[in-house]
């Protein structure tokens, strides 16, 4: 089974060819980060236009690099949501046109299912499994009782963790996307400014990062008013320690209380070195099997969309030609076996 996958939900245009849901034959990614940096964040209208400019070349490139012909393809997959509606539409139109032209099925795919199944590009997933999704727009704990079934057991009530990283980075003077800068600063810092942790109710798997973000902004303002300098590293470390402690604690508790046999980390913030190390140490201690995809599969890419789409291909759940962009589609509704669409 060869699936050509398209991902245009945000600011990366990506096309991949994935064999049997696990083997990446090509995975081309055109990042628009430099374009959006001038604005300090992703500008939706600009993102759509950029996708339009590069999508055709990316499609050709991905097929060429995979060393197959279009007729070898089994299906065409595309991110249908969540994401920016205009950006999603570009990928959907391209995928539909191609699928129609070569007479192959179309598979609308959930972006977060993609982030989770990026792990399948690394190794076999064992069930039940818990996924900790940490990205620019999502912070979730997902229980997968079997392959392709998704149950949301916790989510952020306000900011996503990547969003909080980007805002804190901006307050400390770093360009978008700021996550990697804060990560680096935090790990290099020898001092720490302790910041609050939001645990919420004792049994809750939900997250909240807006209070922490406000605490950072207040601290920065106070340092500035006192005319102090060099406070950045201690704040970055305090912020990162607070984020990591809560993420790790809740993820471990989710694994232990559900009897999950594996913990999957995914999403762009999975690139965070502090989080990777803390989670690995804790999982080692608790004897939990932890899987973390390599960096190139953590941030947005089409290979992960091909991996998730393979589940729908196996169960024969294809999308119709009226497939629409679904900016806020839920992960649960995309579970395999729950939303058969007519082909």
Binding-site residue set for Fe cation: 111, 115, 300
Instruction: State the nearest-atom distance from the C-beta of 268 to Mg ion, in Å.
Output: 6
Q: Is 179 in the site for ligand ATP (CB under 6 A)?
A: yes
Rank residues 84 and 143 by Cβ distance to ligand ATP and give the closer one. 84
Rank residues 135 and 156 by Cβ distance to Fe ion and give the closer one. 135
In angstroms, the CA 65 to CA 121 distance is 18
- Pick from 80, 140, 183, 241 the residue near ligand ATP by CB under 6 A: 183
Structure tokens, 199: 């645990």
Count of chain residues binding ligand ATP (CB under 6 A):
24
Q: Please identify, among the stretches 170-178, 208-216, 296-304, 315-323, the one whose residues bind Fe ion according to the rule CB under 5 A.
A: 296-304
Site for ligand ATP in 122-141 (CB under 6 A): 135-138
Q: Is 13 in the site for Fe ion (CB under 5 A)?
A: no
In angstroms, the CA 208 to CA 214 distance is 11
- Pick from 300, 302, 305, 335 the residue near Mg ion by CB under 5 A: 300
**What residues pair up with 266 in beta bridges, in sequence order?**
133
Instruction: State the nearest-atom distance from the C-beta of 165 to ligand ATP, in Å.
Output: 4
DSSP-assigned states of every residue in 135-169: -SS-EEEEEESSTT--EEEEEBSS--HHHHHHHHH
Rank residues 21 and 136 by Cβ distance to ligand ATP and give the closer one. 136
Among residues 246, 236, 302, 298, the alpha carbon closest in space to that of 271 is found at 298
List strands edge to edge, sheet with 106-110: 23-31, 12-19, 2-7, 75-81, 106-110
Rank residues 161 and 290 by Cβ distance to ligand ATP and give the closer one. 161
- Cβ contacts of 266 within 8 Å, gap of 6 or more: 115, 116, 118, 119, 131, 132, 133, 134, 135, 293, 298
Rank residues 36 and 104 by Cβ distance to ligand ATP and give the closer one. 36
Give the CA distances from residue 265 to residues 145, 154, 252, in Å, rounded to whole numbers and listed in that order: 16, 14, 12
Structure tokens, 168: 């804190």
Q: Please identify, among the stretches 3-11, 17-25, 137-145, 201-209, the one whose residues bind Mg ion according to the rule CB under 5 A.
A: 3-11
- Pick from 54, 299, 319, 335 the residue near ligand ATP by CB under 6 A: 299
- Pick from 7, 300, 317, 326 the residue near Fe ion by CB under 5 A: 300
Rank residues 208 and 299 by Cβ distance to Fe ion and give the closer one. 299
> Helix, strand or coil for residue 240?
helix
Q: Please identify, among the stretches 49-57, 160-168, 190-198, 334-342, the one whose residues bind ligand ATP according to the rule CB under 6 A.
A: 160-168
- Pick from 269, 292, 307, 325 the residue near ligand ATP by CB under 6 A: 269
- 178 contacts which partner out of Fe ion, ligand ATP, Mg ion, none, CB within 5 to 8 A by kind? ligand ATP
Q: Find the helix or strand (DSSP H, E) in which 94 lies.
A: helix 85-102
- Pick from 4, 5, 6, 10 the residue near Mg ion by CB under 5 A: 10
DSSP state of 212: H
Closest chain position to Fe ion (CB): 300
Return the percent helix, strand and coil in the chain, to nearest 5. 45, 20, 35
Q: Is 119 in the site for ligand ATP (CB under 6 A)?
A: no
> Helix, strand or coil for residue 89?
helix
Structure tokens, 146: 């079997």
Rank residues 10 and 107 by Cβ distance to Mg ion and give the closer one. 10
Among residues 294, 307, 297, 338, the alpha carbon closest in space to that of 79 is found at 307
Residues within the interface to ligand ATP (CB under 6 A): 9-10, 83, 111, 115, 135-138, 162, 165-166, 177-180, 183, 267-269, 271-272, 299-300
């Amino acid at each position: 089974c060869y699936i050509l996958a398209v991902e245009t939900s945000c600011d990366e245009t990506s096309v991949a060819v994935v064999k049997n849901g696990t083997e990446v034959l090509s995975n081309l990614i055109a990042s628009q980060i430099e374009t959006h940096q001038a604005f300090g964040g992703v500008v939706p209208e600009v993102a759509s236009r950029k996708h339009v400019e590069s999508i055709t070349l990316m499609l050709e490139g991905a097929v060429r690099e995979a060393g197959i012909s279009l007729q070898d393809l089994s299906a065409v997959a595309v991110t249908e949501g969540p994401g920016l509606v205009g950006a999603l539409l570009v990928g959907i139109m391209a995928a539909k046109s191609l699928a129609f032209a070569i007479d192959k099925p179309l598979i609308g795919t959930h972006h977060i299912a993609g982030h989770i199944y990026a792990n399948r590009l690394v190794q076999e997933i064992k069930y039940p499994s818990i996924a900790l999704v940490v990205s620019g727009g999502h912070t979730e704990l997902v229980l997968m009782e079997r392959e392709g079934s998704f149950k949301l057991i916790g989510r952020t009530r306000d900011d996503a963790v990547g969003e909080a990283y980007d805002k804190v980075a901006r307050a400390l003077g770093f360009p978008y996307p700021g996550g990697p800068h804060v990560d680096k600063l935090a790990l290099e810092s020898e001092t720490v400014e302790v910041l609050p942790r939001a645990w919420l109710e004792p049994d809750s798997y939900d997250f909240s990062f807006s209070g922490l973000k406000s605490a950072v902004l207040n601290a920065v303002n106070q340092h500035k008013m006192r005319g102090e300098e060099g406070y950045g590293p201690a704040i970055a470390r305090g912020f990162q320690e607070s984020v990591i402690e809560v993420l790790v604690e809740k993820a471990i508790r989710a694994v232990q209380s559900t009897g999950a046999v594996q913990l999957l980390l995914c999403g762009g913030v999975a690139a965070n070195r502090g989080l990777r190390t803390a989670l690995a140490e804790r999982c080692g201690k608790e004897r939990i099997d932890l899987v973390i995809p390599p960096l190139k599969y953590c941030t947005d890419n089409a290979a992960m969309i091909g991996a998730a789409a393979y589940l729908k291909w196996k169960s024969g759940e294809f999308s119709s030609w009226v497939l629409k962009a679904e900016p806020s589609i839920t992960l649960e509704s995309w579970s395999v076996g729950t939303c058969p669409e007519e082909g």
